Amino acid sequence: MKVILLGELKGKGGEGDVVEVAQGFAENYLFPNRMALPATKGNIKQLEERRHNIEKREVKRIADAEALKEVIDGKTVLIDAKVGEEGQLFGSVTNTMVADAIKNELGVEVERKRIELNRAIKTSGLHTVKVSLYREIAAELHLQVGKPAVEEVVEDAPEAEAVEAEAAEETTEAAE
């Protein structure tokens, strides 16, 4: 069955596209959720009249997605999670947790359903996820789950310096 999409439908197309879908999918999901219209002669004629407005919105969406990609792509975000022994998490990292971390650290909002976790993240460390922004525009985001190893080294460093200073003092006292 041919339908006219009223918005982006992942894997099918965007607003104004005429696509072929299963009849049951159209009648049970797309039409009730106002995501598509049947591709009748009258609806196609209306689509042609609105084509200019649709193209303007499409250009704006692509520009917004590219700008958002510049902000997100290649950045590292810290996900604070309870970590047990051997780096195992109590639970797993969810899309909502990632979306909240992006909002808090980078200052931009991303819908949680646009964050693609290929598999459940159940270990601490550095992980990479894909954020689909619009159609083929996607960004790669690095997640640091748990406390990063650099912070642990920095925390231990003052103690190590204190031990070295004490050893130096003892050596100086012994030499005198």
Q: What H or E segment, with its residue span, contains residue 88?
A: strand 88-93
Task: Report residue 148's pLDDT band, with 50, 70 and 90 as the boundaries.
Answer: low
* 50: its two tokens: 């609105």
Q: What is the pLDDT of residue 149?
A: 52
Task: Report residue 107's pLDDT band, with 50, 70 and 90 as the boundaries.
Answer: very high
Q: Stretch 61-84: mean pLDDT, rounded? A: 92
Q: What is the pLDDT of residue 165?
A: 52
Q: Buried b / exposed e across 123-156, counting CB within 10 Å, b at 16+? A: ebeebebebbbbeeebbebebbbbeeeeeeeeee
